Structure formats: structure tokens, C-alpha cells
Amino acid sequence: MKKLALLATALAMVSGSALAADLRVKAVKAPPPPAFDPWDIAFGAGITNDYIFRGITQSNHKPSVNAYFEPRFNVTKDFQLYVGLGAASISFPNRAAAEVDAYGGARYTLGAFAFDVGAWGYIYPGGTCHYGAATDTAGVPLSLECQQNALINGNVIKKDLSFFEVYGKVNYTFNDNFSLGGNVYYTPSFLNSGAEGTYASIVGKAIAPSAWFGASGIGMYVSGEFGRQWLGTSDSFYGVPAFPNGINYADYNTWNIGIGFTYKVFTLDFRYSDTNLSKGDCNAFTSDFSARGNLAVNAGTFVTPINPTGVGSNWCGAAGIVKLSADLTAMTSLK
């Protein structure tokens, strides 16, 4: 009997102990999921030996610096609204102080597809009009500032080159290492010239497998773009005697290819860029203040129907670009 009593007591103690352990496990609550914070901010800066935009230098083939600031609001994990403000140093024929960018749009991710639509404003404050005559080729009177300032090579340029574009982008990510996309931009007046502009391009990027660099944190990619810029007819400010009401700018192709290296928030990019614009048509489009080869020096060298003076520009030719940039986001890079 004593043995049975001891066995019963032992069983009760084990049962009670197991029940207590059970209760303790059930009492532990799982940690709450992290709260969804819809706000984020992206920002960054860079320096390059040559600021190239769609195959054409914006800095007279000289170094340029840039910075941007982009608040974002994530409506859901797949839908984001954003606005941004940026600036870059430039060297334009009208001697504008800088390029200031103001933009906004929406990004949406659907599976492997990423969509982006928005509007972009390019603002060029501090410019000076250069023309050197009382009227343009169509007889339209010009301001006193335009009359009093002339470029030595005979090119003309407006005081204000600011304009805006609307755009749409799509990108398809095949896997962790390769993506392909397309972009379309449209403006009713490119560089405030009066000429419509449509730019379309295809872009591709291949990212090296992370195993290539082990635990070093270094990444590598190869990327490229092929695009075409369609341009309409300018207003009479840019007219020539054969086309007093404006010139029909030459459409052109542009392409670039490069290799880049990443480490944490830094990117070092080496790139080759070029276009198929002739030096004459490039000059007519850019009004390059550094263009040379006019009729007085080298008769007819770069004459085209829209560039009768024969001045030729190197702003649209082959260029090698090196850029170092840093890009951060408040929600990830700063944690």
C-alpha cells in the first residue's frame, strides 16, 4: 500500500509539473509584427568628369556635381508615390547658373514588372539671352538684352531654357542578375525651343553573382541603353534665312554602355556614350558657345540645311564618363 501511495504521489507531481510547463508555454505571447511605416526619404550626390544627357554634354565636357532629395510615401508595399528635388552644375551657352530638377510620380510593382509614371521639370535659372540683332529671322522684335549680347561664333540662345516632360517607364526583372526595361518621355517644347520632343529607349542591366566577390560587400554590374530622340520644329528665334519661322531639328540616336562597381551606398560607374548627330546638326541643336569651324575660318566644313554658318559642335560626339555617387534611404541605409 505504501508503495502504491508513493507511486500515485509521484505521478501527480509529474502531471502537475507538466501542466505547469504547458501553462508557461501558452502564456508566452509572440512579438507583434513590425509596424508598417509608409514614409521614406531617398537622397544622394555624385561627381562626374562629364555630365552627359541623352548623348549630349551639359557641362562642356567638364566635371559636374549633382545632388538630390526624394521623399516617398508607400501606399502599400507595391505602390509608391514620390516627389523630388535635385540640382547639377552645367555649362550652357546662356550661362545659366545650374540645372534644378523638380519631379514627381508614382511607382507600382506587379510581380516581375515595375512601372513608373510622372512629370519632370528642368529649370535653368540665371540665363542671359544672346542674339545680337533687333529682330529674329521672322521679323519678331527681340528684347534689349538679346540685342546687346551676341555669341562670337554666331549662335543664338534664349535667356530661359526651362521645360518639362511627362514620362512612363517599365522594367522587367528576369532574376536576381538580369533586368530589361523601356522608357518614353515627351515634352511640348524641348529646352523651351518651341520644338516638340519625344525620347524612347531600351535599357538593360546584368548584375554579377554575389559569389564572385565573396563577403567583401563589393558588387558589379554591366548596363547599357539605346535611345532615339525625335525633335520637332523650333520657333522663329532659332530660325535661319532658309527657314525664317524655325528649323526642324535633326532626330538622332544615342547609346551608352558601361560597367559599375558598388560598395554599401557607393557606386563607381565607367561609361562610353555617343550619338549619330553630325557636328553641324549638333551645333544647330545645342547653340554650343565653344563651337568652331565657321565660314570665315574653314568654309563650309559643317554646313547643313539648318546650320548654314558651318559652325560645328563636339558636344554630341563620343565621350568617356566616370561617375562616383552615393545613394541612401532613411529607412534602410541609416539604420
Per the confidence metrics, is the pTM higher than 0.75? yes
pLDDT at 20: 42
Joined grid coordinates for residue 253 = 540616336
**Residue 313 identity:** S
Condensed to tens digits (0 to 9), the pLDDT of residues 51-100 reads 999 999 999 999 999 999 999 999 999 999 999 999 999 999 999 999 99
**Placement of cell 562610353 in the chain:** 272
Listed range (180-189, 276-285, 288-297) with the worst mean pLDDT: 288-297
**Residue 215 identity:** A
Mean pLDDT value across the chain: 91
**CA 19 → CA 15, 24, 196, distances in Å?**
6, 9, 79
The answer to whether residue 35 scores a pLDDT higher than 70 is no
Helices marked H in the chain — which ranges?
2-27, 144-148, 279-286
Question: Half-sphere exposure of residue 209, counting CA atoms within 13 Å on the CB side?
Answer: 2
So where are the chain's domains?
39-329
CA distance 77 to 113: 14
**CA 239 → CA 92, 204, 269, 313, distances in Å?**
20, 38, 39, 18
Contact call for residues 231 and 190 (beta carbons, < 8 A): yes
Condensed to tens digits (0 to 9), the pLDDT of residues 138-172 reads 999 999 999 999 999 999 999 999 999 999 999 99
The mean pLDDT of 276-282, rounded to a whole number, is 97
pLDDT at 334: 64
141's CB contacts (< 8 A; 6+ apart) are: 134, 135
Condensed to tens digits (0 to 9), the pLDDT of residues 248-260 reads 999 999 999 999 9
Query: In terms of Cα–Cα distance, which of 71, 70, 69, 68 is closest to 39?
Result: 71
pLDDT at 31: 67
Phi-psi region of 166 (alpha: psi -120 to 50; beta: other; left: phi over 0): beta
| Topology adopted by domain 39-329 | Porin (2.40.160)
